[in-house]
Amino acid sequence: MAELDTGFFVRWLTAAAAAVEREADTLTELDSAIGDADHGVNMRRGFTAVTAALAEKPPASPGAALGLAGRTLVSKVGGASGPLYGTLLRRTGRELGDAATVSREDLARALGVGVEAVAALGGAAEGDKTMLDALLPAVRALPRSFAAARQAASEGAVATVPMRARRGRASYLGDRSIGHEDPGAASSLLLVSALEQTAGRGDG
Ligand code: ADP
Ligand code: MG
């Protein structure tokens, strides 16, 4: 299996930032239906800062790249998504340690730990209509392939539409949260799609 090096992780995070930039208005529209209409703004501010930080201090390892990105999100994003995505990337990065390259399976394992840390921090589980509904299926599918992970994230995001929110701002709406896609699940799909795109089709 192809090993993923530091350059791969920098390209992934850069592709994620580009996707967030492109889809920021859509993310904010989703958040205007069941939240406070700032998810696109939050994600754009955070990922613009991530791109700048990676350029300023080129990371020495995959784990360092994720750690830097995670710390940047925590410091730049005020909404719930900043600490949650920040925790995801920092915890995943810590799990990868200082290895110069990692396999897709290593990444799947590390992301599994990172996603569990998000669940612990936010007190959410699958089915609560949050980013976890895209992230957990994606991480479970990643050992199969990058494409399978993206497909699972996509299905997970769509599956949040009929859910009633039990965590985060959307939960204040109760039944009125039903019928809308969760903004954080939509942004998680962007991150997983960027991962597949970076790996290139056919690369596992
Ligand atoms: P805020 O809710 O503070 O305005 P954002 O709008 O940036 O922050 O992010 C909202 C997204 O964060 C939600 O769509 C949801 O996916 C995610 N989220 C919110 N609370 C939680 C939580 N407790 N656990 C997991 N994800 C959460
Ligand atoms: Mg919001």
Residue-wise pLDDT tens digits, 50-64: 999 999 999 999 999
- Name the closest-CA residue to atom 11, ligand 1: 184
Nearest ligand, CA of residue 77? 1
pLDDT digits (tens, 9 = 90+) for 108-143: 999 999 999 999 999 999 999 999 999 999 999 999
138 CA → ligand 1 middle, Å: 18
What are the boundaries of each domain within the chain? 4-199
State how far the Cα of 78 lies from the Cα of 43, in Å rounded to an integer.
10
Please tell me the distance between residue 77's alpha carbon and the centre of ligand 2 in angstroms.
11
Query: Which CATH number is associated with domain 4-199?
Result: 1.25.40.340
Task: Show the low-confidence residues of the chain (pLDDT under 50).
Answer: 202-204
Q: Whose CA is nearest to atom 4 of ligand 1?
A: 79
Which residue ranges have their beta carbon within 6 Å of ligand 1?
A: 31, 35-36, 38-39, 42, 79-81, 84, 122-124, 130-132, 167-169, 182-185
SS3 content of the chain, % helix, strand, coil (to 5): 70, 0, 25
Region for residue 4 given its phi and psi (left: phi exceeds 0; alpha: psi -120 to 50; beta: otherwise) = beta
Q: Looking at residue 36, what DSSP letter applies?
A: -
In ligand 1, which atom is closest to the CA atom of 133?
16
Assessment of whether the complete model's pTM goes beyond 0.85? yes
Predicted confidence at residue 204, as pLDDT, reads: 45
Backbone angles phi, psi at 96, to 5 degrees: -75, -20
